[in-house]
Amino acid sequence: MPKKSPPITEAWRGITFTRRALVVGGAQAAVGVALAARMAYISVVDNDRYVLESESNRVNLTLIPPRRGWIVDRNGKALTNNRVSLRIDIIPDRLHDRKLVLGQLQTLLRLDGDAMERINRDLKAASGFQPVAVKEDMTEAEYSSILVRLPELPGIAPQRGFARNYPTGAAVGHLIGYVGAPNAEEYEKAKDPLYITPGYKIGKDGLEKYFQEMLKGEPGARRVEVTARGKVVRDLSTQADVQGKTVHLTIDADLQEYVARRMGRESGAAVVIDCHNGDILAFVSMPSFDPNSFSDGISTSEYAWLRADDHQPLINKATRGLYPPGSTLKPMAAIAAVGHGVDPSERHTCIGGYRLGNRFFRCLGTHGSLDMPSAIMKSCNSYFYWLAHRLGYDAMAPTARLLGLGEEYQLAGSNQRYGTIPDSAWKMKKYDQQWSASDSLNAVIGQGYVSVNPLQLAVMTARIASGRRLYPRLINREFKNEPLPFSAEALAAARHGMDLVVNGPGGTAGRSRLPLDGITMAGKTGTAQVRGLNTGNGRAGTWKFRDHGLFVGFAPVDNPRYATAVVIEHGMGGSRAAAPVAKDFMTFLFDREKAMEALATLEAGWGGTIKERMDRDYAAWKSGTASDPEPGVPQ
Amino acid sequence: MIPIPPAIQRIPWKLIAILSGIAGFGLLVLYSAAGGNWSPWALQQGARFLIFLSMALVIGRFPLRIFEDFTYIAYIGVLVLLFAVELLGFVGGGSQRWLNLGFMNLQPSELMKVAIVVALARFYAQLPPGNTRTFTALWPAMVMIGLPAALVMLQPDLGTALSICVGGVVVMFVAGLPFWWFGSTAVAGLAALPVLFSFLHDYQQKRVLIFLDPESDPLGAGYHISQSKIAIGSGGIGGKGFLNGSQSHLDYLPEGHTDFIFATMAEEWGLIGGLALLFGFFLLLRWSTRVALKARTRFGQLAAAGLTMTIFFYIAINLMMVMGLAPVVGIPLPLFSYGGSSMLTIMTCVGIILAIENDSKTGTRRFH
């Protein structure tokens, strides 16, 4: 506040005006200089940063998921390959009118509430240019209905991608496994942007998972110039993807499919091994799941259906199923006995059972006087009780292990439960109890503590047939396969007994002779009780309490080439359930037409191929759960 | 030497050159912003420029006396129009900023930017010198600024309201009102900022907040500022070249032909283009400031100084906005941005300043 101000005159006013106008002008000039400096700062000092941001605006880099490598069988036939899949994604950053676009998509693609919920959830979680999948595997009609409306749907990115295809579906489910979109944990671990690219799948189970590194390939990349609304102006450059490598398996795709189909409506597993080198030719566990469903992202209801099935289609019974092997272990016991000085021609008389102290162990028949091969042929329990009592099971367990029982193999992509071959040391360790003679008697007929998986049974058979320590393999992996330390006499006794089982007079699998000229199959049936011995009748009644049917075999008898093991859960006996299955697929290996005829007749009775039956069962189950609060079990 | 006819001598060639230079540069940028096309913007803008330039030259020939005589009537007329707009908006059930005159949309708030300056210039020209430091010098001016500013704020149009206030306050300042009035008002205003802020509309508050931290909302309202800075920054010193701006051509830059035209220009012409444009505006403002200093009458002095500020305010706020120094307010870049309203205002300003210049050439200085 000026105390002494000069008198206010027009002259003073003029001077004040000039002074103040110059102040205002000076201030304006200062602002102008500041603006120039600011602009220089942005465009010179920060230039690099903004050039980068402008480029990242202009250029959109999308990863092209690589085509996955094929998995082929021994003849180069595809067990899994890729098929073209049309898909639609949303680029969240480009989605300006979310409601409108989603509404349009819902109408055009007929998306249900579940799908819309998932898309909304994914959109919330996604950021920036990370695409969100709307729909995969669209029909050409759906795809083109989106394409023509693309200008009205900013943020939508249609893509022509690839999806995993399993031509034989459920037949290879447990063998190959399946692929699926990586989950959050897998992405955290891999830290690979490819993992969050829609359409990219990784192996989730089985061989798909085991060979992931080989199969995955190298992603391609596409650089495009885009407008702010996501419209592609032009392609800048494209780098093609590199397809993953092909994995060659020892599997015979045709046999694999045949075996799977021949299993019919039964629950079980079958393995076929090449006796020359241990190649696994077929590796089947049924019922199975369709890996195509899993790879496309299985629906909750289909998954619930698979889980509800008491035939357990989600479990690979060939390596994860443990069964008492029953009489299929008798040839092994014979080899062990000969190794411990028992003469195969020595006879024992079956009186319908065997007396051990005050207990009487029953035989299934009264077989009279038997030598070793005929005891195998008739599957006489008394004879083997007698051997076991005489030698003790500690004398037999090492032979069982030499034949591959109780062993976990180095097998690609498998998750094995390797079961138990008991002996006195094992029992002491596990139960702190002495091994008893009755334990030996139970073990020798493949009951009691003994448990094996079907793959082990097939390996055992291949080793008996070849006399060498074969290891099962799915890829070309070198094992030594050295000869087993068994005498020729021992192996001959076992093989002769197995020959008689199928081809001898009154053999337990006599009905399963191969319908071929000059080619015969040797084998051994087994029936494993599910309930305790001597309790109830395993031949009828509730499915779950019926006996398991087992069969091991090899063919041709004189020059073994193929060894197999079949387990039919609750099949009520090896000769009834398992041996006929083996007969048919062994026939297939030598005469496909004849085997296919047999299968056609059977499938007509079962109600179609695996896929037809599965589709029908699933539909029935779905309609059943819709009306019935207690989910019904198919079959 | 060929004698130049006085009629031609009297035409302000230098001013026309400055204006045409700025507007012509703007036409090139509009041509590029349309993807290398004279339509829809450049051609129309060019025609509009010619019309308004002629208008400014004609206004410049009017005797200054006429403006002095009609300022209050003009001011009241524009104020009535502002009321009318507000009423129409109220009746129509929504905010409205313009009146449809049939052949054009008239935005009275734009006219007010000019009317307030000349009206206040007239007021202070008439005020006896002895009253300069009395309350008499203050309250009528406060009312004259406050009424239209409040009406414009109701529209709501923060940018224009500010522009009206700034134009008026600068006239008060150069009129010689005590310095400490302005100083203490500025301090009080700063202190009251939070209160004023609470009076703003939600979207205006948001803009201010985003201006303070543009990265907080890079896809929403901060998008404008971020993209504008990217456009200017990526232009570098020499720019990306004519017709090569990716930010504008690929639609990343919003409003690239109106409020953010400077960014469009800077992307293609770089720092060099920006400095050239700033130099053009400097020449224009230097001319008008000189007119103010040389004006023959007090009314001329005050009006020219105030109108200079009005033009400057447009330029400064727009450039600060596109460079991320001010919140996003819808103020175009004078002569450069596509649009008629702002060009009409600027050319009216230029015309009046021209009239003041012509007046100063006609006689001796008189201050009353």
Q: Chain A residue with minimal CA distance to B240?
A: A51
**Given an 8 Å threshold on Cβ–Cβ distance, is A1 in contact with B231?**
no
* Alpha-carbon distances of A215 from A212, A219, A243, rounded to whole Å: 5, 12, 8
Measure the CA–CA gap between A385 and A349, rounded to whole angstroms. 11
Please list the residues that pair with A323 across neighbouring strands. Answer: A452
Question: What SS3 class is residue B304?
Answer: helix
Q: Chain A residue with minimal CA distance to B178?
A: A1
CB contact set of A275 (below 8 Å; sequence gap of 6+): A462, A465, A466, A470, A554, A560, A561, A562, A563
One-letter identity of residue A110: R
**Given an 8 Å threshold on Cβ–Cβ distance, is A51 in contact with B236?**
yes
Q: Tell the burial category of A595 from Cβ atoms under 10 Å away from its Cβ (0-12, 13-18, 19+).
A: buried
- Whether B129 has a pLDDT exceeding 70, the answer reads yes
The minimal CB distance from B174 to the residues A17, A29, A225 is found for: A17
Q: Helix H segments across A41-151?
A: 47-58, 98-109, 113-125, 140-147
**Given an 8 Å threshold on Cβ–Cβ distance, is A42 in contact with B170?**
no
Nearest CA to A413 out of A210, A174, A625 is that of A210
Q: Helix H segments across B98-138?
A: 108-126
Please list the residues that pair with A370 across neighbouring strands. Answer: A348
* Strands (DSSP E) found in A413-544: 522-528
The distance in angstroms from the start CA to the end CA of chain B is: 41
Q: What percent of chain B has pLDDT over 70?
A: 92
One-letter identity of residue A374: S
A-chain CB neighbours of B250 within 8 Å are 57-58, 225-228, 233
A-chain CB neighbours of B367 within 8 Å are 10, 13-14
Per-residue HEC secondary structure of A393-425 comes to: HHHCHHHHHHCCCCCCCCCCCCCCCCCECCCHH
**Given an 8 Å threshold on Cβ–Cβ distance, is A17 in contact with B274?**
no
Q: Chain B residue with minimal CA distance to A34?
A: B320
Q: Within 13 Å and on the Cβ side, how many CA atoms surround A307?
A: 8
B-chain CB neighbours of A229 within 8 Å are 251
Q: Which of B230, B293, B322, B333 best tests the A interface by mutation, with the highest count of A CBs <10 A? A: B230
**Given an 8 Å threshold on Cβ–Cβ distance, is B229 in contact with A16?**
no
Question: What SS3 class is residue A350?
Answer: strand
**Given an 8 Å threshold on Cβ–Cβ distance, is A226 in contact with B250?**
yes
- Tokens, residue A90: 């949303």
B-chain CB neighbours of A39 within 8 Å are 232, 266, 271, 274-275, 278, 319, 323
Considering only CA atoms, give the Rg of chain B: 21
DSSP 8-class letter at A516: S
Q: What is the pLDDT of residues A39-58, one digit of tens each?
A: 999 999 999 999 998 988 88
Is the Cβ–Cβ distance between B282 and A32 less than 8 Å?
yes
Q: Chain B residue with minimal CA distance to A226?
A: B250
Q: Which of B174, B267, B287 best tests the A interface by mutation, with the highest count of A CBs <10 A? A: B174
- What secondary structure does DSSP assign to A538-601, as a single string? TTSS-GGGSPEEEEEEEESSSS--EEEEEEETT-S-IIIIIHHHHHHHHHHHH-HHHHHHHHHH
Question: What SS3 class is residue B136?
Answer: helix
Measure the CA–CA gap between B56 and A217, rounded to whole angstroms. 71
Measure the CA–CA gap between B99 and B83, rounded to whole angstroms. 11
The minimal CB distance from B305 to the residues A24, A36, A47 is found for: A24
A-chain CB neighbours of B301 within 8 Å are 17, 21
* Alpha-carbon distances of B142 from A540, B135, B257, rounded to whole Å: 107, 11, 36
* Angle at alpha carbon of residue A548, lines to A546 and A553, rounded to 5°: 155
- Tokens, residue A34: 């500041």
**Given an 8 Å threshold on Cβ–Cβ distance, is B233 in contact with A32?**
no
- What secondary structure does DSSP assign to A152-199, as a single string? GSTTEEEEEEEEEE-TTGGGGHHHH--EE---HHHHHHH--GGGGSTT
- Whether B196 has a pLDDT exceeding 90, the answer reads no
Q: Which residue has the higher pLDDT, B252 or A1?
A: B252
Q: Within 13 Å and on the Cβ side, how many CA atoms surround A14?
A: 13
Beta carbons within 10 angstroms of residue B261's beta carbon: 26
Q: What is the pLDDT of residues B173-191, one digit of tens each?
A: 999 888 888 888 888 888 8
- Tokens, residue A142: 């759906």
Measure the CA–CA gap between A405 and B91, rounded to whole angstroms. 94
Measure the CA–CA gap between A105 and A24, rounded to whole angstroms. 59
The minimal CB distance from B174 to the residues A1, A20, A226 is found for: A20
* Angle at alpha carbon of residue A270, lines to A269 and A273, rounded to 5°: 145
Q: How far is B113 from chain A (nearest CA, A)?
A: 18
Q: Which contiguous run of DSSP H or E holds residue A132?
A: strand A132-135
Q: How far is B2 from chain A (nearest CA, A)?
A: 38
A-chain CB neighbours of B180 within 8 Å are 1
The minimal CB distance from A36 to the residues B227, B270, B278 is found for: B278
**A33 contact B CB<8A:** no
A-chain CB neighbours of B251 within 8 Å are 227-229
pLDDT score recorded for residue A628: 46
- Tokens, residue A459: 């390996």
**Given an 8 Å threshold on Cβ–Cβ distance, is B129 in contact with A58?**
no
One-letter identity of residue A58: R
The minimal CB distance from A42 to the residues B175, B301, B323 is found for: B323
pTM: 0.69
A-chain CB neighbours of B132 within 8 Å are 8, 13
The minimal CB distance from B234 to the residues A17, A50, A229 is found for: A50
pLDDT score recorded for residue A631: 41
pLDDT score recorded for residue B136: 87
A-chain CB neighbours of B317 within 8 Å are none
Torsion angle, alpha carbons of A162, A164, A169, A172, to 10: 150
CB contact set of A567 (below 8 Å; sequence gap of 6+): A268, A269, A270, A317, A321, A323, A454, A457, A548, A549, A550, A578
Is the Cβ–Cβ distance between B159 and B315 less than 8 Å?
no
pLDDT score recorded for residue A110: 84
A-chain CB neighbours of B178 within 8 Å are 1-2
Q: Chain A residue with minimal CA distance to B166?
A: A24
Q: Chain B residue with minimal CA distance to A47?
A: B233
Q: What is the pLDDT of residues B274-293, one digit of tens each?
A: 999 999 999 999 999 999 99
Measure the CA–CA gap between A490 and A486, rounded to whole angstroms. 7
Complex ipTM more than 0.90, yes or no: yes
Is the Cβ–Cβ distance between A459 and A272 less than 8 Å?
no
**A123 contact B CB<8A:** no
B-chain CB neighbours of A57 within 8 Å are 227, 230, 246-247, 250, 252
Q: Chain A residue with minimal CA distance to B310?
A: A28
pLDDT band at B215 (very low <50, low <70, confident <90, very high): low
Q: How far is A623 from chain B (nearest CA, A)?
A: 47
Measure the CA–CA gap between B265 and B29, rounded to whole angstroms. 6
Q: Which contiguous run of DSSP H or E holds residue A134?
A: strand A132-135
pLDDT score recorded for residue A136: 80
Task: Give A 37-76 residues with CB within 8 A of chain B.
Answer: 38-40, 42-44, 46-47, 49-51, 53-55, 57-58
Q: How far is B144 from chain A (nearest CA, A)?
A: 21
**Given an 8 Å threshold on Cβ–Cβ distance, is A57 in contact with B173?**
no
- Tokens, residue B259: 């409020």
Please list the residues that pair with A242 across neighbouring strands. Answer: A218
Nearest CA to A232 out of A163, A162, A155, A149 is that of A155
Measure the CA–CA gap between B249 and B33, rounded to whole angstroms. 6
- Tokens, residue B311: 């033009």
**A9 contact B CB<8A:** yes
User: Which residues of chain A register pLDDT less than 70?
Assistant: 1-7, 126-130, 230, 531-540, 626-635
For B34, phi then psi, to 5°, come to: -85, 15
Question: What SS3 class is residue B31?
Answer: helix
Cβ-Cβ contacts under 8 Å between A and B: the total is: 149
**Given an 8 Å threshold on Cβ–Cβ distance, is B233 in contact with A17?**
no
* Angle at alpha carbon of residue A291, lines to A286 and A297, rounded to 5°: 135
A-chain CB neighbours of B334 within 8 Å are none
- Tokens, residue A221: 């990349």
The minimal CB distance from B173 to the residues A20, A38, A43 is found for: A20
pLDDT score recorded for residue A2: 47
The distance in angstroms from the start CA to the end CA of chain A is: 103
Q: Chain A residue with minimal CA distance to B230?
A: A50
For A158-174, letters b (16+ CB in 10 Å) and e give: bbebbbbbbebbbbbbb
